[in-house]
Amino acid sequence: MYNSTKNSGGYIANTIVVPMIAVVLVSVVGIFGVMHWSARISDESAAHSQYRLIDGALQLMQNYMVKQQTGVVIWDEAFVEVNDPDPDEGWIFNNMMHWLFQNHGFSKSILVNRDLEVQQAYAQDYTIKWLSEDLLEELTPVVKRVRARYIISFKKTPSGLYSFVPQSSNSRQAIAETGIVALAGDPYLFSAAAVMPQIQSISPIRKPPAVLISLVPLRGEKLKEIAEMSRLQGLVLANLQNTRDGVGRFELLSPQKRSAGVVAWQTNQPGSQMLQRVNPFLALAAFMMAAVVIAVTIFTRQMTKRLARSEAKAVHASRHDALSGLPNRTRFHTLLNDTLRDGIQKDTKTAVVYIDLDHFKDINDTLGHSAGDKVIVAVGERLRRVIPDTGIVARISGDEFAMVIRDSKDDEWLEYILDQVQDEISRPIRIGSRELFASLSLGVAVAPRDGDDPDELLRKADIALYDAKANGRNRRSFFEPTMEHHVQSKDKMSRELRLALKNDELDLAYQPQTDTDAKRIVSVEALARWTKSDGTIVSPAQFIPVAEETGLINDLGLWVLNKACAKAHDWPGVTVSVNVSPNQFKHPRFVEKVMAILAANNLPPQRLELEVTESVFAGRNDSVLQALSRLKNLGVKVALDDFGSGYSSLSYLRRFPFDTLKIDRDFVSDMNGNPEAEAILVSIIQLGKALGMTIVAEGIETAEQIRFLQAHRCHRMQGFFISRPLTDKALGKFLDDFHGANSTGFGTDLSYQPLTAKG
Ligand code: C2E
Ligand code: CA
Ligand code: CA
């Protein structure tokens, strides 16, 4: 399950994180791409407009040349002189060609006559060689176009005279052809215009005109002018082949579309510049996006991990007990099912053990729930530690645990394991500064002997547990079919108990207590007995807890008190001890009722002793202590029962001045030559005496125990060795026999056999 949640976490990571990273990557790349693309577009459009700038500048310059030339070509004198059969070259030189150089810097000129012959050439630096065949060939079509245009545009004006009326509105342009040619590899701007008369002609004869071609080098002044007009940086005439990034190129073409050179400049690339400016920010943005993606990735990973963990936790929680971390009842059932099926397949035995923590209610009541919780945790840990690896330990409810032991070869082996379980639990449990001693009652059912259905096995283990508890705690029982008859459900038992109380099926047994010398019976303890109509005897260890749980204990307790007080008259001088449950004290008028019973039976309060266990201190119930004090003040004796069995704190002895301290029978039975147990016993006797209490040792079963207790001057002694609990009649006889037989000190020689009696 944990794995599958892990995978679902991975699935989430894959379905969310991976596409997200892809989207972010694609958008980053996309943004970069678009930026670069638009930068390039912007660069290109900038280059285009720069190109147009140069083109425009060149046009302007050429137009201006035409205008400068006009003064010389539209001039009657020039028209006459140029077309004269014997032209005055000197005049032409001075007034046209050289004049144009001096005034407008046209460093070269060519005059082509009406017969399309070069009539005269001018070079400012007198070089003759420049007038090459190539150049003439280049210019011939230009000259022809000028002549043709002149002839076409020679029209009759409204005044009846003839004149050159160009079709184009731009007259200067119309009379001239401009362009660029290369002279010895250097580009020159040229303007070619027809030489024409200023005045309108009276003759309609159209003759082709002479054409004056004026040239000016682009290099130098003109280039500077272009640079100024275009405001482009680093404008130069450049090598044709040389192309380079960031360098704009404008190819100068001759009329015949031959390259006349290249104008180059440092392009301004707004896109690239913008990119350069923006790039750091883009990089930063990309970096930040990457950071965000990484953060989100990490975050989602952690979230999915946390999700998987809490999912696993939830699953765990639904199957385990929160306090001990052990599997809970539901989980236990599933595990048991699997184990049993496994056992059947392998043909091996499986043991199911029900465990009940003895006196747990007392721990909770006297030390508080947090101490109780700690005990549960400690017991859980120890159980887990001590059972075989393949076994299962679960917490079923409050103080109930359950175990499954696989392959339990035989009962001896199982007993050995359970011995270990009980030994482990009996080690002291430290709670803060306190050491507690826990014990377990165990009920065992074994598959397939006791069945192979999980529910059936659990029921039988429960019955066995019930049996173990009924036989005194810290015990274990293996299920036996006969047990089933004895065990009843609580409901049924409480119903029957109520009836029994009504139908007088209850009775009292009385167990005598001797003095130190075992010569006199000084007291008897009244113990409830229930013999059902069918003859089965139910132990008070079984029905008293049920009576306490159902509230029946109040009536039952009063009945016992009344009966014990009534019988007390039969045994003058003997104190009657009656067990009282803490619940009875909760009844608001308990003290009055006790007094009423004493009065009704005419029994002095001094003859009655009430036995309470330390659980009366549970919940700091002051009203219980108040009731005890009132009873004590009225003369009733109060005994602390089972001292040392639970989690007794010596402080209880100070909280209430008990008259009597009854040492739990476990201490007496533990004694048998065990120096530690003996030491405890002795110190309890001494302590009780120091507090002025009467010390009673119960559960005495051997002569050695008697001897030991006598040696330490224990005040009163009770146990099977002296007598089992007896019926009232049997007790009367016992008292007679005992006092008769022991008039000379029967108890001291200890030679008698313990008496047995029905009870
Ligand atoms: P308890 O008050 O500790 O009573 C003594 C129990 O120890 C009695 O069991 C008695 O039969 C048994 N016992 C006495 N001597 C020996 C001995 O030498 N060895 C052994 N192994 N056991 C010995 P019983 O009669 O079964 O009573 C069990 C418990 O039931 C009593 O323990 C008491 O807590 C409760 N109980 C009995 N009668 C009443 C009653 O009328 N009212 C209340 N509230 N509780 C009662
Ligand atoms: Ca008792
Ligand atoms: Ca007792």
Task: List pLDDT tens digits, range 493-540.
Answer: 888 999 999 888 999 999 999 999 989 999 999 999 999 888 888 889
Q: Which ligand is nearest to the CA of 553?
A: 1
pLDDT at 756 over 50: no
Residue 128's pLDDT is 64
At residue 745, the pLDDT reads: 41
Contact of 447 with 345, CB cutoff 8 Å: no
- Long-range pairs for 252-258: beta carbons < 8 A, 24 or more residues apart: 252/58, 252/180, 252/182, 252/187, 252/218, 253/180, 254/138, 254/179, 254/180, 254/181, 254/182, 255/138, 255/139, 255/141, 255/142, 255/177, 255/179, 255/181, 256/137, 256/138, 256/141, 258/138, 258/182
Least confident of 549-553, 557-561, 636-640: 549-553
Q: What pLDDT, on the 0 to 100 scale, is given for residue 751? A: 39
Model pLDDT, residue 204:
65
Beta pairing partners, 638:
610
With a Cβ cut-off of 6 Å, ligand 1 is lined by 511, 527-528, 539-541, 544, 557, 560, 579-581, 611, 641-642, 665, 698-701, 719-720, 725
pLDDT(167) > 70: no
For the CA atoms of 472, 473, 477, 480, the dihedral, rounded to the nearest 10 degrees, stands at: 40
Across 6-32, average pLDDT: 73
Question: Helices H, strands E: what count in the chain?
Answer: 27, 26
As a whole number, the mean pLDDT across the chain is 85
CA of 726 to the centre of ligand 2 (A): 15
Ligand whose nearest atom lies closest to the CA of 611: 2
Report the CATH superfamily, name and number, of domain 507-529+560-743: EAL domain (3.20.20.450)
Task: Give the residue whose CA is nearest to atom 12 of ligand 1.
Answer: 699
Class of domain 329-479: alpha beta
Nearest 10 degrees: Cα torsion 558, 562, 567, 568: 90
Strands 476-478 and 162-164 turn out to be unpaired
What does the DSSP assignment read for 660-729? EEEE-HHHHHHHTT-HHHHHHHHHHHHHHHHTTPEEEE----SHHHHHHHHHTT-SEEESTTTB--B-HH
Q: Between 756 and 352, where is the model more confident?
A: 352
The reported pLDDT for the residue numbered 611 is 97
Closest atom of ligand 1 to 698 CA is 15
Where in the chain are the domains?
51-266, 329-479, 507-529+560-743
388 CA distance to ligand 3 middle (Å): 37
